[in-house]
Amino acid sequence: MRFQGRVALVTGGSRGIGKATALKLAGEGATVAVHYSRAIDKAEAVCEQIRGLGQEAIPVQADIADRDAVNRMVATVTEELGVIELLVNNAGDVGDMTFEELTPEHWDRIVAINLTGPFNVLWAVKPGMIERQFGRVVNVSSIAALAVRPNQLPYAAAKAGVISLTKSCCGPLAPHNIRINSVAPGAIATDMLGEVSTEMVEQLRSTTPLGRLGEPEEMAGVIAFLLSEESSYMTGSTVIASGGRILIP
């Protein structure tokens, strides 16, 4: 198993891509800390599934935009499970809003969750990885960072920042045997799509060259690859997994 004996932290691990990733890593031997923001019941349910696979798991709560809360979360994981060796920075929020409706307060919150949050978590786990001289990080970005999407100005800007954060960190981290990459998903069939209309979901499906939405498990497969030694010569890279949707203007 690719992650036997490794300790993983998956932010936003109670649902969608995060949940699928937590289960994927556990299925391949990892002990997993499942981060959640509000839904402890969902996080605990994921942990129960992981325990059913024979692996240890704990739910951990934090507002990732709160640096002190993140530091406390990482300290809890380290104390209960051990030094975090695998980090998946997945937690985020789209927060669609038109250009005309966009307020500075909305900008601040979306950027805090989607860009400052991943920075906070990375900076909290980094010392342990450096001390151990081992670390694998995957930041979840979005194709919104690479192609303009209506009503997603702060989200797109933040996710572009995630790609830049990934690139900028790969050089300083590489001498410590820490690899950092990102993935840019397209339209994925998660509960976040429940916030948009049926017509919009159908438009997303019909304008994706593969003719369907992506599944969380497919993204988990890409993330697991980037965390594994199968990608041992990759760092600072962004893998686009969009069903070809990145080609759509």
Whether residue 155 lies in the annotated active site: yes
Residue 248 has pLDDT above 60, yes or no: no
121: domain CATH number? 3.40.50.720
Where in the sequence is the domain holding 92, given as residue range(s)? 7-241
From the list 155, 178, 220, 224, the catalytic residue is 155
Residue 196 has pLDDT above 90, yes or no: no
* Residue 249 maps to a domain: no
* Residue 2 maps to a domain: no
Residue 206 has pLDDT above 80, yes or no: yes
Per-residue CA distances from 147 to 7, 26, 143, 186 (Å):
34, 33, 6, 11
Paired tokens of 244: 């070809």
* Residue 247 maps to a domain: no
Helices (H) and strands (E) in the chain, counts: 8, 7
* Residue 213 maps to a domain: yes
pLDDT tens for each residue of 103-132? 999 999 999 999 999 999 999 999 999 999
Number of structural domains the chain divides into? 1
* Residue 154 maps to a domain: yes
Q: Which residues of 212-238 are buried (b: 16+ CB within 10 A; e: fewer)?
A: ebbebebbbebbbbbbeeebeeebbbb
- Output the pLDDT for position 4: 97
Q: Is 154 helix (H, G, I), strand (E, B) or coil?
A: helix
Number of CB atoms found within 10 A of residue 174's CB: 13
* Residue 109 maps to a domain: yes
Q: What is the mean pLDDT of the chain?
A: 94
More confident residue, 194 or 32: 32
- Output the pLDDT for position 34: 98
* Residue 69 maps to a domain: yes
* Residue 37 maps to a domain: yes
